[in-house]
Amino acid sequence: MPRFLLALILLLPALPALAQRHMIVAPHPLAAEAGRGVLRDGGSALDAAIAAAVMLTLVEPQASGIGGGGLMLHFEEETGTLQAWDGREAAPASATPALFLRPDGQPMSFPEAMEGGRAVGVPGLLRMLEAAHREHGRLPWARLMEPTIRAAQQGFAVTPRLSAAIGATAPALRRNPAARAYFLDAEGNPWPPGHILRNPELAEVLLAIAADGAEALHRGPLAAEIVAAVQSHPNPGGLTETDLAAYQPRRRQVLCQPYRAFRVCGFGPPTSGGVAVGQILGILEHVALRGLDPRGADAAHLLAEAGRLAFADRNLYLADEDFVRVPLRGLLDPAYLTLRAQALDRDRAMPPPRPGNPRWREGAPHAPQATEFGTGTSHIVAVDRWGDAVSLTPTIEAVMGSRVMVRGFLLNNQLTDFAFLPEQDGRPVANRVEPGKRPRSSTAPTVVLDGSGRLAMLAGSAGGVRIIGHVAQTLVAMIDWDMAPEDALRLPRIGVAGTGAVELEAGTAAASLAPALAARGHRTEVREIVSGLSVLRITPQGPIGAADPRREGVALAD
């Protein structure tokens, strides 16, 4: 998106979507419309999120789809309970810690690792959504496939974002016959914005999924085609039909952290998002933010410092807890976060922070993983007329995933979320590749409850490792600065993607903060930051929602 256009969008007056009964926020209008149609027909928030997520396979294929995975929080109003559903991709049984090492023992570059079958993990999104639907769905499963089947058959208009994503990955897409035939014209050029793109192959796949459920993808002819595409690629992977058939979604621990008068609830490992967002807020709990300018250097400094401390712990401790003992209690312990907050100086940046020493650590020490890749992902939030709600992050990892297409949808490259180097200085990295392990994520589906345990807010974002900062900044904006969702999402993005530089969004007022932050000792980087937030807030008049103005998402309600 041109910088002048982004700046104009961020200055436009806020246009909230206010609902009396139900609402969905999704990163593409057709996905939001599919979800709203389900809500109108008496569907649950989960039904609406499923319909929207399936639609994203068609209209936002560069970011998410049935060839990938997802993490989801579900809130049930009647009981006040939260469930964490894990549909994260898993490493095939044949995977080894050396998956991304060259013969000389050096790590591959990200481009050579991610394109092709090597990085394809076992998809989990459909099986996770299907399992949750058995418990919380109100409409038939087949009904949720109908909007996408219809749109795939009739065609949809290519958006500027999709056209740009095709253009950015065109050389790789040309190397995959199925992707080339779908995303490029006869001369090998990307489809322009507005082109009507039809996907009859995906429609056929979804008809099978409507009839047979997720089994249509995990067993039978489609599973065989997926495996053949992965194993026959010049950069082959080890995915097998047995891996696909054996995949099962999992329930995970919900992590709730007090912040001001609220409880902010996130997702535990295999994602680092819930822990890192919880740590950032737990550290900022010790700082008076309310009187600060949300666009000023003081707020940027404190957000960045809390983020750097959280990333230092994240890079060392966080990984799939089925394989690694993660000290969750210690990392979120109020006494530990109070100690970590002592490193904050209102006037000076701290030196590069080291990981802390939380209580309840077990097992052998690990080495940190610092290198991060990936910028894809989508996010959906929804609330229904009964007050049940969903915060869902589906993803295929990088833009266009592995660039391998099967029957109208792209396969993920999620295995590149693992550490490429399995050990450093003789110590294993917690997030190293292992058979059946789920790679560490940064996704942060979030549910915020008020002091009485009632639903207050839903949030989440796209953006790879920057998701953590996007969500934390937005929650601070809504809680500390009492901003409406649309105003919070128009704030210039400020954050960190590790323990180093403070990232400031180009083309916005954030860029002008660089000198003030440098004077405090920060290293800064002004860069394009295309966050992808979806946010919803409950008010006495009904839910208010907003989609990130940097993308084409919308909030729709009745």
| 423 and 373 Cβ atoms separated by less than 8 Å | no
Between CA 502 and CA 522 the distance in angstroms is 7
Q: Dihedral angle at the C-alpha atoms of 550, 553, 555, 556, nearest 10 degrees?
A: 150
Spot the catalytic one: 377, 443, 499, 524: 377
Tokens of 435: 């058979």
Q: Is 377 a catalytic residue?
A: yes
Determine the residue type at 457: M
| 254 and 436 Cβ atoms separated by less than 8 Å | no
Angle, helices 273-284 vs 467-479, to 10°: value is 40
Tokens of 526: 């002004």
Angle, helices 141-154 vs 29-40, to 10°: value is 140
- Largest Cα–Cα distance in the chain? 63
Which 3 state secondary structure label does DSSP give 457? strand
Q: How many CA atoms lie within 13 A of 457 on its CB side?
A: 31
Angle, helices 45-59 vs 141-154, to 10°: value is 30
Between CA 69 and CA 56 the distance in angstroms is 13
How deeply is 78 buried, as exposed, middle or buried, from its count of CB atoms within 10 A (0-12, 13-18, 19+)? exposed
Beta strands 494-495 and 524-527, pairing class: unpaired
User: For residue 421, what are the contacts with CB-CB under 8 A and spacing of at least 6?
Assistant: 101, 107, 369, 429, 432
Using alpha carbons, select from 9, 14, 8 the residue that is nearest to residue 544. Answer: 14
Residues labelled as active-site residues: 377
